[in-house]
Amino acid sequence: MKPNRIYLTTCLIPLFTGGQLLASENLPNRDLIASSSSDPSLDVSLTLGFETLHVYRGADASSGNGIMWETLDIDLYNTFHFNLYGGNSFNDEYKELTPSAYIYHDFGDLTASAGMIWYHLPGSDGADSEEYYFSLAHPLGNGFSVSTWFSYNPRFNGYYNELKVSHTYDFSDNLSLVSYAGLGYSDGLRSGGSGLDNLTVAVGLPIALSEQISIKPLAGYAFALDALESDDEAWLGLNLSYTF
């Protein structure tokens, strides 16, 4: 089992205020589009998306703006995964180009992954930072799975951890309902101090148009908790994916 990558919240945006990392999302918890590649050692996919608001680890990361984003995913030998994310708001207030990479191994009922994210915001001097993480995922049966995420950002000497429960229900071979609830805890990253960070719930409806093309309408809501000094956030989105 590859790391659970549910592209409901999408993306990788850090938002910095007063030296605090205010928003970020677990990269390996984005959608991994099923590959139809004839080469079992190589999976490649491209995804384009729109969001009414970019919410990342519970916080508005696009300053209230809708965004367009795109990702390139490359998976090698069911062991190494590379992702390149780019996002822009329509008024150019938000821009990001963020690469990440991780290695992972399937132990049967447990998948472990470890990697690095480099958050890069062009034009924002001094805003870049890296995050190192370790994640575990376990299937529970009946479409349910549980995952944990542990990460460290050396620039801010802070930690972000998350417990997430996901569910997939297949209506047919071409239509599914995917959902998750994630509870985050941060230490040293938020202006509100350390503690429970956010509770985020999201749902998406992947629709396979062919073996290579799929679309997904989605919606989500994030509840700001003790450490996150911001409002609750809601958003809608639409993704289009192509698998080589």
pLDDT at 27 over 60: no
Query: pLDDT tens for residues 71-84?
Result: 999 999 999 999 99
pLDDT at 139 over 70: yes
Residues 6 or more apart whose CB falls under 8 angstroms from that of 111 comprise 1, 2, 3, 4, 104, 105, 136, 137, 138
CB atoms closer than 10 angstroms to residue 79: 13
Q: pLDDT band at 121, cuts 50/70/90?
A: confident
CA distances to 46, 68, 105, 198, 219 from 233, in Å: 27, 18, 34, 10, 11
Query: pLDDT tens for residues 52-64?
Result: 999 999 999 999 9
CB atoms closer than 10 angstroms to residue 60: 21
CA quadruple 184, 186, 191, 194: dihedral, nearest 10 = 120
pLDDT at 23 over 50: no
Domain borders along the chain are 16-243
pTM for this structure? 0.84
Superfamily of domain covering 16-243: monomeric porin ompg (2.40.160.40)
> What is the predicted pLDDT for the residue at 38?
54
Q: Which two tokens stand for residue 35?
A: 């590959």
What secondary structure, in 3-state letters, does 49-104 show?
EEECCCEECCEECCCCCCEEEEEEEEEECCCEEEEEEEEEECCCCCEEEEEEEEEE
CA terminus-to-terminus distance, the chain: 20
Q: Which two tokens stand for residue 228?
A: 């996150």
> What is the predicted pLDDT for the residue at 191?
84
> What is the predicted pLDDT for the residue at 116?
98
Q: Which two tokens stand for residue 7?
A: 């592209």
